[in-house]
Amino acid sequence: MRDQHDLDVLIKSRFPILVVETQEEARLMDIIRRIALSQGQALFQWSAATGLKRLDTLDRGTEPQTHSPGDTLKHILDSLHNALYVLLDFHPYLQDPVNVRLLKEIALGYDRTARTLILMSPHVEVPPELKPYTAHFLGSVPDRPAVRLILKEEARAWEVRNPGQRLRGNQETLEKLVTCLGGLLADDVRRLARQAMNDDGMLTEADIERVIRSKQERIGQNGALSFETDTARAADVAGLDRLKEWLSLRRKAFLGDAQALGLDMPKGILLLGVQGCGKSLAAKAVAGAWGVPLLRLDFGALYNLYIGETERNLREALQAADTMAPCVLWMDEVEKGVGGNAAAADGGASRRVLGTLLTWMAERKSRVFMVATANDIETLPPELLRKGRFDEIFFIDLPDAAARKEILRIHLRRRKLEPPAFDLDALGTAAEGFSGAEIEQAIVASLYQAHADGSSPSSATLLAEIGRTRPLSVVMAERVTALRTWAAGRTVPAG
């Protein structure tokens, strides 16, 4: 009903041209029919296959000479009907300047004859000449109550088709399925629900996995967004106790019904820190701890030579993330995509990308938890950092002594070495000022050295490698100190 109300308001607002971007043509046409009926307006539909047809009468014959786009627009321009004209998949014909001019002529004549043109396609690029006369409409996706209602309707339909049988499944599985179906269009929810029920008459974990696979296939079609299978557990991350506790407190609200609990939906966090200190691993651990998919946005794949294409790529990537909800959206080194240095060299594309991103962050209703990581806070625009954009800004500093020992344990175990065989106290002390990545690389290098010497890895070989390494905190001491100084009092320590 929300879509019908919003579209009705746009039509009553007397916009000559409405752009409806949707994959649900049948559902939106049904809504437009109801609006036309309630307003007593004539309704026409055009497609390249059928030409222009009137839909609000019993006589639904094709209007003469209306198969070509140009002839159709001339016919509408000459018509005296106060009507709604739905032009299906008209976007390829907007490349023709004659068609664009005809559309503008129709729009300019709206006060004389109230003809509303509705351009309905999966994607429409509006020419600049038509933008002053155009409003956009994006169909909504069903919320949790609506998804439950669809499942209920499909369950009833299944039981009608299978007399004497009851659909099997427990409440926990049903709620998981409702969560996984979130972000999908109503038609897709209905299709996947039917598939789950017709498979074996049961709602099971296998049906949930099928929904997730279906979403992953959609993600695979977007070049800027990738599905990351390599998530991490909280136990894989040394230290960061405050961050772990913060996430633990919000897990139930994110995965459950935050509104019913009287809580705001968690939106996201910004992780600032020294390079190699575990920001990326922490992002992976959020998805692993919450048990939701992890998506990674690649800013490099977003940017396009042509004006407007970069923003469109971002909008499509964010829509794909909304479809995958509930999920974690990881934006690694976000300053490279929207920072000041990028803006100086890309003709303003990064400013437009920032605007698109901020709009999505402010308006989204989906269960997409955003984790942005940054190494250089000075290049980030202040609009991104203001209160309310992120739930919290965490600073991930170089690991302390306890965290360094835990990092050593994790990486030694990962390489099938026994931590008790090493002097972790001495190694942790020697690695003061090292990041987690630098400690890992010291272990890797010491293993190569031990292999070359024909000896077993030991504390001595690892201590020697640590002694040969100059960590970033030494090589770039001034920058690390400046970052720490900025973060003090402005961010929350993650450890």
Amino acid at 159: E
- The whole-angstrom separation of Cα 439 and Cα 131 is 56
Q: What is the pLDDT of residues 421-446, one digit of tens each?
A: 999 999 999 999 999 999 999 999 99
Q: What is the pLDDT of residues 383-402, one digit of tens each?
A: 888 888 999 999 999 999 99
Any idea of the CA torsion for 298, 304, 309, 313, to the nearest 10 degrees? -10
Indicate if the pLDDT at residue 288 is higher than 70: yes
So what CATH class is 401-475?
Answer: mainly alpha
- The whole-angstrom separation of Cα 9 and Cα 5 is 6
Greatest extent of the chain over all pairs of C-alpha atoms, in Å: 93
Tell whether domain 2-138 is in CATH 3.40.190.150.
no
Structure tokens at 411: 């990486």
Q: What is the pLDDT of residues 94-125, one digit of tens each?
A: 999 999 999 999 999 887 888 899 999 988 88
At the fourth CATH level, which superfamily is domain 227-235+248-393? P-loop containing nucleotide triphosphate hydrolases (3.40.50.300)
Are the C-beta atoms of 192 and 290 separated by less than 8 Å?
no
- Choice between 64 and 138, residue whose per-residue pLDDT is larger: 138
Indicate if the pLDDT at residue 229 is higher than 80: no
Do 2-138 and 227-235+248-393 agree at the fold level? yes
Residues ≥6 apart with Cβ < 8 Å to 188: 214
| Best CA proximity match to 193, nearest among 240, 253, 153 | 153
Amino acid at 266: P
Report residue 396: phi and psi, to 5°: -100, 105
Q: What is the structure's pLDDT at 123? A: 85
Q: What is the structure's pLDDT at 306? A: 56
Q: In what order do the strands lie in the sheet with 392-396?
A: 225-228, 294-297, 327-331, 368-374, 268-273, 392-396, 492-493
Is the pTM higher than 0.75? The answer reads: no
Are the C-beta atoms of 469 and 442 separated by less than 8 Å?
yes
What are the sequence ranges of the domains in the chain? 2-138, 144-219, 227-235+248-393, 401-475
